Amino acid sequence: MKWQLINRVKKYVGFFKVDECRISHDTYAGGEIEITRELFQRGDAVAVLLYDPAKDRVVLIEQFRIGAIEDEQGPWLLEIVAGVVEPGESIKEVARRECMEEAGLDIHAFESIHTFYSSPGGCSEQIYLLCGLVDSDKADGIHGLEHEGEDIRVVVVDYDAVEDLMHSNQISSAIPIIALQWLQLNRERLRIESFVL
């Protein structure tokens, strides 16, 4: 099936960008349609689930999120470390940078979890999701870059408590939910492999 970008107009350029795109594409019935859609561009991002297999703990972060200002529980969300890919950076370089900036942690080893679109109906962002093995005893404090307006609190949670946080909807952002569901499937393997390292 074929598609064509007919026209693209920048509608907004700020912290994020929005383009209006006119597109034609083949249909499953054998015809062709033309549509106009807004494309939200925020850049690709790397997110890192910080896990300590020796102590069976997860390191989360908590920060203010503008998208949650109408949430009845408030706009401070429990999440995992994440950041935007800058030009010329590799995925692991972004992961290491963000883990230090947002949690003050060095990573012992990385494992790729998955790459996915955050919301492809209108956003071009892809998320590169990784698991980073850490020493949770070194996780503490308030972090973030002042010039980016970041105010990030590190939260260390036993694995059993993480499951309770998920079930009680205290973790309500998609990226950490995906990462923690992956951890449910891979936790025992990670704990066994960590003793071999």
* Catalytic residue IDs: 148
**Residue 105 CA to chain centroid, in angstroms?**
17
Q: Which residue has the tokens 């706009």?
A: 75
Q: Which residue has the tokens 């093995």?
A: 133
d(CA 189, CA 183) in angstroms, rounded, equals 10
Query: Which helix (DSSP H) or strand (DSSP E) does residue 48 occupy?
Result: strand 45-52
d(CA 38, CA 54) in angstroms, rounded, equals 46
d(CA 45, CA 29) in angstroms, rounded, equals 36
d(CA 44, CA 152) in angstroms, rounded, equals 21
